[in-house]
A and B are shown apart, each in its own frame.
Chain A
Amino acid sequence: GQQLNQSPQSMFIQEGEDVSMNCTSSSIFNTWLWYKQDPGEGPVLLIALYKAGELTSNGRLTAQFGITRKDSFLNISASIPSDVGIYFCAGRGMTGGGADGLTFGKGTHLIIQP
């Protein structure tokens, strides 16, 4: 099946710092999604990307769909304590017509020290 490599696995940063994480795929994706998961909760969609090269922002979050269609990154500017959580990238491949679910990365665990 399709594989997603997400890095880094975890990040320990100071409040106010910028954060950058990325995902790479062994195959082409036609959609990239970024989710955040808080402890004990389900993932919540942050940003959706549908076109190669697309750059989309959601408040302090910015994500880009790589030109090769095999990667995506997420940046968080000026981190705050509520940014703590696990961030997942997810992608949908070129087949399946949208019905066969998403492929998820293993997540980036973000920890912020005040």
Chain B
Amino acid sequence: NAGVTQTPKFRILKIGQSMTLQCTQDMNHNYMYWYRQDPGMGLKLIYYSVGAGITDKGEVPNGYNVSRSTTEDFPLRLELAAPSQTSVYFCASSPLGDTTQYFGPGTRLLVL
């Protein structure tokens, strides 16, 4: 059972570089989410999507972009990496109308 998968597991970026964090789910869930988790903190919502072609901002969207061209994939794009974006990024998905969110294993990002 794959569930929610994320790649890469770990990445080091230089300030100003760009990268895409990949997220894929095989549960046919309409809702997908991106969170970031800073040390000693809970998760904060970056962006979410209620279905293919539809995305919206969460609590902390600045510096990020997303797209949702398919139900399965929800990539997160960092265009100009900054040290403040050093964090652990979690992707999650949930069925339509269900509050249970299933999380991926996370991507650890270090920006130097």
Q: Are A and B physically bound partners?
A: yes
- A105 touching B42 in the complex, CB below 8 Å, given contacts A41-B106, A42-B103, A43-B103: yes
Decide yes or no whether A66 CB sits under 8 A from chain B: no
Docked complex Cα distance between A28 and B85 (Å): 31
CA separation between A56 and B48, bound complex, in Å?
Answer: 29
The verdict on A88 contacting chain B, using a C-beta distance below 8 Å, is yes
Q: Provided the pairs A33-B99, A41-B105, A92-B99 are in contact, do residues A100 and B45 lie with their beta carbons within 8 angstroms?
A: yes
Q: Which residues of B contact A104 (CB under 8 A)?
A: 35, 42-44
How far does the alpha carbon of A72 sit from the alpha carbon of B45 in the complex, in Å? Answer: 21
Name the residue of chain B whose CB is nearest to the CB of A42. Answer: B103
Q: How far is the CA of A98 from the CA of B44 in the complex (A)?
A: 16
Q: In the bound complex, what is the Cα–Cα distance between A50 and B44 (angstroms)?
A: 22
In the complex, B109 has a CB within 8 A of chain A: no
Quick check: is A44 within 8 A (CB to CB) of the other chain? yes
- The CA of A7 and the CA of B98, in the complex, are separated in Å by 27
**What is the bound-complex CA distance between A33 and B105, given in angstroms?**
19
Give residues of chain A (73-114) contacting chain B, Cβ–Cβ below 8 Å: 88, 90, 92, 98-107
CA A102 – CA B92 in complex, angstroms?
11
Q: Roughly how many angstroms separate A43 CA and B43 CA in the complex, as a whole number? A: 10
Is A13's beta carbon under 8 Å from chain B? no
Chain B nearest Cβ from A87, distance in angstroms: 11
- Chain B residues with a Cβ under 8 A of chain A: 4, 31, 33, 35, 40-45, 48, 50, 56, 58-59, 90, 92, 97-106
| A and B contact pairs by CB, cutoff 8 A, 6 listed | A40-B106, A42-B90, A42-B104, A43-B43, A45-B100, A101-B58
> Given A43-B90, A100-B45, list of 8 further CB < 8 A pairs?
A35-B103, A41-B106, A42-B103, A100-B56, A101-B35, A104-B43, A107-B40, A107-B42
Which 6 residue pairs are nearest across A and B when measured between Cβ atoms?
Answer: A104-B42, A42-B103, A101-B45, A104-B43, A99-B50, A106-B42
